[in-house]
Amino acid sequence: QVQLVESGGGSVQAGGSLRLSCQASGYTYGTAYYMGWVRQAPGKEREGVAAIDNAGSTSYADSVKGRFTISRDNAKNTLYLQMNSLKPEDTAIYYCAAGVPGGRGWWLLHTADFGYWGQGTQVTVSS
């Protein structure tokens, strides 16, 4: 059973940086999971932020391109999200998510295609 545990959330002023981490466990050996970050702001639907496949190819939402960087360490089963130049509109609960490629492309950031989810970590950006 896949388990995802996020860490690194917190409060920061606009223009600041935060780094989120996600420790994964329970992966089936030989399965090329893709991983990503999804956020949900109060009163809004979940939004795919960034994703990365097992080979390291990445995809970003337009709202975070040039500011956020997703990366993964397959040896450690760990996913990261470096967030720079943070804005108040980045305030949300950030979820780590994982999925198995198939159907729609993972790079499309469809939140419904992720099959596994962490519990979420709060990111608050003040102006």
Q: What percent of the chain has pLDDT over 90?
A: 80
pLDDT the model gives residue 104: 84
8: which residues sit within 8 A by CB, 6+ positions away? 18, 19, 20, 21, 121
Q: Which residues of 99-111 are buried (b: 16+ CB within 10 A; e: fewer)?
A: bbeeeeebbebeb
Task: State mean pLDDT over 7-31.
Answer: 93
pLDDT the model gives residue 42: 92
pLDDT the model gives residue 64: 98
